[in-house]
A = this chain, B = another copy of it.
């Protein structure tokens, strides 16, 4: 089975950002993304103030490290000081059935 090692970037943030942020992901080089509705609690970015909300989203982007860096830098510059947000990366092996 053909596998490609990629980064899985997960973004948990406020659902009000969904439309704008998803447009930007594409523009920043993401080939796709998956959004699910979520709720939860966390500390808020640079402010470290508590936040609790049922209006969260969880966005997953599979991309290479360079695109993940670009997305993270953009989120930092544009949203991080004003919106609740957590970002994390893990390694995944994407299966390419067309190359099996």
Q: Does A67 contact B (CB under 8 A)?
A: no
A81-97 vs B, CB cutoff 8 Å, 1 = contact: the mask equals 00001111111111101
Interface residues on A, range: 35 or more
List CB contacts (< 8 Å) of A31-60 with chain B. Answer: 31-43, 45-46, 56, 58
Set of chain B residues within 8 Å of A6, measured between Cβ atoms? 88
Nearest B residue to A26 by beta-carbon distance?
B41
Nearest B residue to A69 by beta-carbon distance?
B1
Let me know if A93 and B97 touch, CB within 8 A.
Answer: no
Let me know if B46 and A40 touch, CB within 8 A.
Answer: no
Smallest beta-carbon distance A66→chain B, Å:
11
Checking B33, B35, B39, B93 against A88 with a beta-carbon cut-off of 8 angstroms, the contacting residue is: B93
Set of chain B residues within 8 Å of A91, measured between Cβ atoms? 90
Nearest B residue to A56 by beta-carbon distance?
B34
